[in-house]
Structure 1
């Protein structure tokens, strides 16, 4: 058993008692985390029992993954409090909370990597090169910046920021925390879709939306969000397009944006305009794949809600729709 005649230990004795290497003790001493009780005439470090308690605390904090700067803040706060009761102050709470956030991100990244690996593993050889290319364009874990940029280019210019943010909340899906291989593929395809140039038009906003102007657009998108939610209720109940509160809310969004009255003629003209507007069917199909849990019925998206409402409006007004609707 190690012992000391003067109540202090050399660096080797302290290391042995704490179950660490001499190099570890020296590392923390050199960084001021482990004070020395004294030094011998020959310059050798000497430590007392307080150093052993402190070293054990440092090991515990480091075992939790706390960084050296975080450990220093915890120890400094404990020293300022006189060391009574152990490290229970705000520095420890902040460090633990920060580490939990980091671990959450790391675990999400690992789950995405696992699902991506399974996607490649399950893919037919002829599909692997294309899927690797799609996955390679994603960050891990993936972000939504490309999708946000896509919609900022699609929305009418000069819309109030609050209105834009409200629309982005419903139009941009968040990557699943624990994705399936199919969800990884859908999100990768969605990411690639939003990075590609918008085909077939120089100004991608629908004509019916541009006509509202910046102020009207804010009213329009707020009203559309409400009507999409109402239509979503009908879709979940597996009810086909029909007149009712959802359709009235949909039309009302346009009348308020344009500053006109609702009428049979307005509905007819609106149906014709909307039927000819650019479509984002592929985007919404992929969104549904991303947000729907495995084994569940696809969740309504703004795209599917819009199609439901447009079909209801077309049926009410006798307006023919493109075959894709």
Structure 2
């Protein structure tokens, strides 16, 4: 029965393919693998071509193709390579979904999350890349929209979007959930809106000096040294540090280094001194796998306290 003209019973096919008789009969009834002919008693018989067709159906089913797609391949309505490519893409989506679910479950386990937290975590985590970007862009539009704020800063915000990898860690999922909650927090939005309004007011007064990375480096250097030396913001030794800082700001902004500058600086720092703003960038770095940015909270708190102490003494 091994020749090309050999005919097999359903039982023979079942033994050769490992499929059940019921499955083979189903494929026959649906027309996927019709019998070659029948015996005089009405029993189905299959030739080697039907056997090969059945092997292909079994293989495609094991690869996950549905019966409709298999029928299109068998009837040559759709080339097999096109069906395979489409199915591979669908599997890629399923794999990404499963990896994301695994990361959410691990985050839930690590955090001992409540049912409510778990629901929110799942809801935010399953957003697509486009939906995540839309959520952040909505936050930026709400906080900076309609204002002539620092364009370089707004451009930096829009260029830095959360991008969860295909296989995120539990920590990355947690970071995204926290960021997703943060950008929807009305109180945080109000705080950032106040910063944007302050920026716009300064630009209206002629400030077009940019992002001030050099000033940030100066503050980090001078105040970092003071902190390392244990100098308190109100200590007499802090006067020289503060003088160096105000001189740098006066030069950058083209203003006299006087009491008015110090008051302006204090207002500027107090407006921007929301720890959640720094947290935003740390969460974004965690999501995207970037190096964690240095924290500037302590140095700017020292700077603010030093200014406040001197202005209160005046």
The TM-score bracket by the shorter chain reads 0.5 to 0.7
Tell me the distance in 2 between the aligned counterparts of 1:209 and 1:54: 71
Correspondence list, 1:185-204, <5 A:
185-198=174-187, 201=190, 204=193
- The DSSP-based 3-state class of the residue aligned with 1:153 is helix
Deviates more, 1:107-116 or 1:186-195: 186-195
Report if the CA contact (8 A) 1:291-1:299 is conserved. Answer: yes
Determine if the alignment matches structure 1 residue 36 to structure 2 residue 19: no
**1:263 maps to which of 242, 254, 265:** 254
Correspondence list, 1:233-312, <5 A:
240=224, 262-264=253-255, 271-272=265-266, 274-277=268-271, 280-282=274-276, 284-285=278-279, 288=282, 291-292=285-286, 299-300=292-293, 304=295
Correspondence list, 1:210-249, <5 A:
210-211=200-201, 224=211, 227=213, 240=224
Partner of 1:55: 54
Determine if the alignment matches structure 1 residue 133 to structure 2 residue 116: yes
Report if the CA contact (8 A) 1:150-1:194 is conserved. Answer: yes
* TM-score of the two chains, using structure 1 as the length reference: 0.57
Partner of 1:153: 142
Partner of 1:124: none
The count of residues paired between Structure 1 and Structure 2 equals: 271
Structure 2 portions without partners, runs of 5+: 226-244, 310-314
Provide the alpha-carbon RMSD of the alignment.
Answer: 5.5
- The DSSP-based 3-state class of the residue aligned with 1:264 is coil
Partner of 1:117: 109
Post-superposition shift, 1:175?
6.9
Post-superposition shift, 1:146?
4.6
Post-superposition shift, 1:231?
6.7
Partner of 1:97: 89
Post-superposition shift, 1:37?
4.5
Structure 1 portions without partners, runs of 5+: 81-86, 121-127, 242-246, 252-260
Question: Where is the helix percentage greater, Structure 1 or Structure 2?
Answer: 2
Determine if the alignment matches structure 1 residue 177 to structure 2 residue 159: no
